[in-house]
Amino acid sequence: MDNPFLNIFKTPFNAIPFDQIKVEHYMPALEEGIKEGLTEIDSIVNNNETPTFTNTIEALEKVGPLMELVSMTFSNLNLAETSKEMQALAQEISPKLSDFSNDIMLNLPLFKKVEVVYNNRASLHLNPEQSTLLDRTYKGFVRNGSKLNDEQKERLRTLDKEKSQLSLTYSENVLAESNAYELVITDVSELTGLHEGAIEAAKMTAKERGKENAWVFTLDYPSYGPFMTYSENRLLKEQLFKAYGSKAFKNNQYDNQEVLMQIVALRHERAVLLGYKSHADFVLEERMAESPSKVISFLNNLLDDSLSFAKKEFEELKAYSKSIGGPDELKKWDVPFYAEKLKKEKFNIDDELLRPYFKLENVISGVFETAKRLYGLSFVQRHDIPLYHKDVVTYEVKNADDEFLALFYADFFPRAGKRQGAWMTSFINQKIENGKNIRPHVSIVCNFTKPTESKPSLLSFDEVTTLFHEFGHALHGMCANGQYGSLSGTNVYWDFVELPSQLLENWCYEKECLDLFAKHYQTGETIPADYIQKIIDSSNFQSGLATVRQVGLATLDMAWHSNDPLSIASVKEFEMSVTSKMDFMPSVPETCTSCSFSHIFPGGYSAGYYSYKWAEVIDADAFEAFKEKGIFNREVASDFYQNILSAGGKEHPSILYKRFRGREADPKALLRRSGLVKEKV
């Protein structure tokens, strides 16, 4: 069988030939990549020369390029374009990758060589990036069991295999539940309140699913969100809310309660085996926050600063809903509807007023122009790059010197084989190899409002900020300019990785930026200045409630990963005990956030969900630097590019940030931006 992975790619920029890759190609290529990687490990171990940084640490960094290419391609497509065959194969691939990782990390002769180099570091005269690689490599071995005895190492192998397979099961259950549900409406009167775009999209979905004279709403957010926000049918909103919140919490074949309990138990046992009190202690050792106590203190301080605001905002919402004939008791499925009405009354603005100005293609042009004005980047669409789905669009990215910088894939619309949400990822990481700078291939994957038969894709303002957010991550990947792939781009501490993404969201609230792209899709009229002022004025609408909601999710994450799982009897009861202080409405028995909390169970944010708020503190402080000199100031942008975007993880993030800002981040910057404290005097 001719396997594309095993041949030289004859494509522009050495792009992955997605059009040639079939499911049956992955396993043979992966097995060949693992075989090559283990041979490279043997070469390092059997080298009779004294262990050095070059023949041990750098040699290790270069191990397994084929394995990495195959596994990254597979894992990315398993999220963005999966199938039953891909999901079945994932259950086979996952343990093989765990074994490969453990064959390296539990290789005692290899670790001894790494240890020799680490213990001699004072005499090596390493630059900061080399020093970081050495430190990360040594700690990687220790944190993955190199100092355990043989019996403990075998247990670690078992834990890692089981954990990776359970994570896949969790994700598949959430996807299956999402795909299985549909709200079918056949009576036009049940569409009251919904805007034309949402109705047309639902009609199109029904047609795609073979349902005539019907409208179908799903749990994909571009469908779910507008229905919850605008529908006047309270009973249907209750039904849809419960379906969304009960994903993988129905005591059926896709239930995640036992799955997540097993994941938590395995993570805890693994951490204890390695000498840590909890999984959170293990994770946070390699984060800016350093320890669970610091994270909990950080979250508690945020809660103290925002709780009173949130309570006032909720009381205002209750009073408002009653004043316009709303229910006696506000339920969770009522909140988006009345919040949107209150926002429109206070600021005379809503998503449907703004949507015509946010045609997807214009927003893309706007984010590209923002990157050009800040960093001199340019984006040229390519039609000769193989794609994994027809909806994907590909761009050649050039730097300010008109040199090739990166390949950029954009995948914007929901479909059955795609996970919900939005994320950035890489297919090929940047690194320098044999003196050549290998440039990255970066992708953003979203689930935006699809175009209909009569309208292009018109984004809500939330979707606009999501695009800027994920593009900020993409910039971090595209601008990478490090020596080593494992330290390049977004390979930084989790509580620092959100800085470039959250920082870029700030431009969405600036007239100077919005004027670049916010134009009416029919008339071409630039968004009126008073609309922009309304966006700015309403930006802190219910910011207290939003902060408390995020703190609640981060606290739930920390609770799952800093407690002994044996003390947890019920998933739902545990969740309620953790979040009740931050929840102003009665819990809905049918729903459970933990069962579809994909960020922390299969995702990489376990004991790290706090990082969104942590990075917000930093991004608010960073944006003040731009505001002081102009949001497109090239001097500030150049400093950010050099010290953050291109630097990746070559040094500790606190060092990089201080180099950019000249000091540590001011914690009050976030509170100032959120309107929770007074402006600077």
Residue 196 in this model has a pLDDT that exceeds 80 = yes
Pairing between β-strand 393-398 and β-strand 431-433 as defined by DSSP bridges:
unpaired
Element at 322 (helix H, strand E): helix 292-323
Pairing between β-strand 441-445 and β-strand 404-411 as defined by DSSP bridges:
parallel
| Chain mean pLDDT for the chain | 95
Q: Which residue has the tokens 């020369």?
A: 49
DSSP summary character for residue 412: -
Element at 173 (helix H, strand E): helix 150-180
* Cα separation, 291 vs 301, whole angstroms: 16
Model confidence pLDDT, tens digit, residues 231-266: 999 999 999 999 999 999 999 999 999 999 999 999
Query: Can you tell me the mean pLDDT for 620-649?
Result: 97
DSSP structure string for 484-541: -GGGSTT-S-HHHHTHHHHHHHGGGG-HHHHHHH-B-TTT-PBPPHHHHHHHHHHTTT
* Cα separation, 614 vs 554, whole angstroms: 10
3-state secondary structure of 289: coil
Query: Can you tell me the mean pLDDT for 217-239?
Result: 96
Residue 315 in this model has a pLDDT that exceeds 70 = yes
Asked if residues 73 and 443 have their Cβ atoms less than 8 Å apart, the reply is no
* Cα separation, 107 vs 99, whole angstroms: 12
* Cα separation, 365 vs 358, whole angstroms: 11
Residue 465 in this model has a pLDDT that exceeds 80 = yes
- Is there a catalytic annotation at residue 470? yes
Asked if residues 494 and 604 have their Cβ atoms less than 8 Å apart, the reply is yes
Query: Can you tell me the mean pLDDT for 468-485?
Result: 98
Query: Can you tell me the mean pLDDT for 274-292?
Result: 95
Asked if residues 162 and 244 have their Cβ atoms less than 8 Å apart, the reply is no
Asked if residues 418 and 79 have their Cβ atoms less than 8 Å apart, the reply is yes
The residue that leads in pLDDT, 528 or 453, is 528
DSSP structure string for 557-626: HHHHHHS-GGG---HHHHHHHHHGGG--S---TT--GGGG-TTTTTSS-TTTTTHHHHHHHHHHHHHHHH
Q: Which residue has the tokens 């910011």?
A: 543
Query: Can you tell me the mean pLDDT for 589-617?
Result: 93
What is the pLDDT at residue 494? 84
Q: If we measure between CA atoms, which residue out of 469, 201, 520 comes closest to residue 358?
A: 520
Q: How far is CA 161 from CA 256, 341, 598, in A?
A: 18, 49, 19
Contacts of residue 407, defined as CB under 8 A and 6 or more positions apart, other chains included, come to 13, 15, 385, 394, 395, 396, 397, 428, 439, 440, 441, 442
Q: Report the Cα–Cα distance between both ends of the chain, in Å, rounded.
A: 71
The residue that leads in pLDDT, 89 or 678, is 89
Locate 585 and state its tokens.
Answer: 């409405």
* Cα separation, 529 vs 508, whole angstroms: 14
State the fold for domain 4-105+107-147: Glutathione S-transferase Yfyf (Class Pi); Chain A, domain 2 (1.20.1050)
Report phi then psi at 382, rounded to 5: -115, 140
pTM above threshold 0.85: yes
What does the longest C-alpha to C-alpha distance in the chain come to? Answer: 82
Angle (CA) 394-396-402 rounded to 5° is: 165
Residue 558 in this model has a pLDDT that exceeds 80 = yes
* Cα separation, 444 vs 76, whole angstroms: 11
If 0-12 CB within 10 Å is exposed, 13-18 middle and 19+ buried, where does residue 125 land? exposed
DSSP structure string for 56-95: IIIHHHTS-HHHHHHHHHHHHHHHHS--HHHHHHHHHHHH
What is the pLDDT at residue 670? 85
DSSP summary character for residue 123: G
Contacts of residue 646, defined as CB under 8 A and 6 or more positions apart, other chains included, come to 479, 480, 481, 482
What is the pLDDT at residue 632? 98
Report phi then psi at 393, rounded to 5: -120, 140
* Cα separation, 548 vs 309, whole angstroms: 9
Number of neighbouring beta carbons within 10 Å of residue 35: 14
Asked if residues 488 and 430 have their Cβ atoms less than 8 Å apart, the reply is yes
What is the pLDDT at residue 668? 85
What is the pLDDT at residue 681? 32
Report phi then psi at 6, rounded to 5: -95, 5
Residue at 152: amino acid letter? Q
DSSP structure string for 240-277: HHHHHHTTT-SSSTT--HHHHHHHHHHHHHHHHHTT-S
Kindly name the residue from 81, 470, 510, 651 that is annotated as catalytic.
470
If 0-12 CB within 10 Å is exposed, 13-18 middle and 19+ buried, where does residue 2 land? exposed
Contacts of residue 673, defined as CB under 8 A and 6 or more positions apart, other chains included, come to 540, 620, 623
Number of neighbouring beta carbons within 10 Å of residue 580: 12
Model confidence pLDDT, tens digit, residues 14-55: 999 999 999 999 999 999 999 999 999 999 999 999 999 999
For 193, left (φ over 0), alpha (ψ -120 to 50), or beta? Answer: left
Q: If we measure between CA atoms, which residue out of 3, 11, 127, 13 comes closest to residue 406?
A: 13
Angle (CA) 554-556-562 rounded to 5° is: 100
* Cα separation, 156 vs 110, whole angstroms: 18
Query: Can you tell me the mean pLDDT for 436-462?
Result: 94
3-state secondary structure of 431: strand
Query: Can you tell me the mean pLDDT for 593-619?
Result: 93
What is the pLDDT at residue 674? 79
Contacts 24+ apart (CB under 8 A), 121-130: 124/53, 126/53, 128/650, 128/651, 129/482, 129/483, 129/484, 129/487, 129/650, 129/651, 130/53, 130/57, 130/483
Instruction: For residue 395, list its beta bridge partners.
Output: 381, 408
Residue 600 in this model has a pLDDT that exceeds 50 = yes
Residue 677 in this model has a pLDDT that exceeds 70 = no
* Cα separation, 42 vs 48, whole angstroms: 12
Query: Can you tell me the mean pLDDT for 257-278?
Result: 97
The residue that leads in pLDDT, 423 or 586, is 423
What is the pLDDT at residue 678? 58
Query: Can you tell me the mean pLDDT for 353-357?
Result: 95
DSSP structure string for 91-114: HHHHHHHHHHHHHHHT-HHHHHHH
* Cα separation, 618 vs 169, whole angstroms: 35
CA 220 to chain centre: 17
For 248, left (φ over 0), alpha (ψ -120 to 50), or beta? Answer: left
